[in-house]
Structure 1
Amino acid sequence: MSVFLIILVLIATFLVMEFVAFFVHKYVMHTFLWGLHKDHHQPTDHHLQKNDFFFLIFAIPSWLGIMLGLMYALPIFVTIGAGIALYGVCYVLVHEIFIHQRLRFFKKTNSAYLKGIRKAHKVHHKNMGKEHGTCFGMLIVPKKYFK
């Protein structure tokens, strides 16, 4: 597998994960697994939430892709697993650290894009119930939030 193809598959996987995360959030977290996601929409002093178990939904396929790809010399699976993992790292940095401030980094920014992400997510969190589970991802933020 060429380096170009590896990079292409890695980027494609990362971008596909944005849509996978959107659909999992709307159709899994805000429906039949609301019991795990609910505490994420409620104020809490806890550092850990039931919602944190959702990382397994993405970590297990990533781990399996990397592990099985290495075991059976299938670089495409390693690359897909790495793309999922890369998305997971970015998700933690943007969602958990930047937006929800679970670690006190990135408190201030002058970036209109980052402010738009934070504002769009706050709009989503105004809804304390499981209805209207749509939440824009890390990359897709409507222009109306850039004010």
Structure 2
Amino acid sequence: MDTALAALIPVALVLAATAAMELVAWASHKYVMHGFGWAWHRDHHEPHDGFLERNDRFALVGAGISITLFALGSPMIMGPHVWWPGTWLGLGVLVYGIIYTLIHDGLVHQRWFRWVPRRGYARRLVQAHRLHHATIGKEGGVSFGFVIARDPARLARELQAQHAAGLATLRGDSASRDVPEEI
């Protein structure tokens, strides 16, 4: 195999795993965190004073997945049964975790730094996630992704339709400020 091509395979695996993690995160947010994992996720949707949340346990699950993949790709751990893509897929999961931490915890929830974007995609991410937090409880809701955000005006209309149909209870507080006027 050509050396340049052989070098591109690990890069492609890292990029593919990073991109796939947004789909995994969306599904786990919608069906696990807002499903049977609500006991861990609830405090993320409620005001609290502490620095850490029960919800942060999900980051440990993600880290466990990344570590497991790294271990599967490690000859020191797996010996002759090494699964070489494991290292690169584990790195992709790790890269997504870093992106998630910077964007979701840092930018959207202001846990690590204070910056409120006034325009562009960063503002769209913040608006979409505020719409996600505009509901009370685990039922209903919109925008379950963390890095990819749909148009906030469309999300607001979907949320209003859910509310009108009795599928979502909207907050009356500032959880949804800085979002389109439909809310």
Instruction: Give yes or no for TM over 0.5.
Output: yes
Q: Secondary structure at the match of 1:141?
A: coil
Query: Is 1:3 the counterpart of 2:7 in the alignment?
Result: yes
Q: Distance in 2 between matches of 1:116 and 1:25?
A: 19
Alignment check: 8 A CA contact 2:103 2:147 kept: no
Q: Percent identity at matched positions?
A: 34
In the alignment, is the contact (CA less than 8 A) between 1:25 and 1:135 conserved in 2? no
Could you tell me which runs of 5 or more consecutive residues in structure 2 were left unpaired when the two chains were aligned: 154-178
Residue correspondences, number? 146
CA distance in 1, matches of 2:120, 2:25: 23
Match of 1:113 among 100, 117, 121: 121
Unmatched runs of 5 consecutive residues or more in structure 1: none
Higher relative contact order (CA 8 A, sep 6+): 1
User: How does the TM-score come out when normalised to structure 1?
Assistant: 0.90
Structure 2 length as normaliser, TM-score? 0.73
| Larger gyration radius, structure 1 or structure 2 | 2
Q: Does 1:70 align with 2:74?
A: yes
Aligned positions of 1:31-110 closer than 5 A: 31-71=35-75, 72=78, 73-105=82-114, 107-110=115-118
From the superposition, tell whether residues 144 and 97 of structure 1 become closer, same or farther in structure 2 (CA, over 3 Å): closer
Per-residue Cα deviation, 1:28-81 (whole angstroms, up to 9, x for no partner): 000111011000000111101111001122111100111221134433110000
Pairwise CA RMSD of aligned residues? 2.0
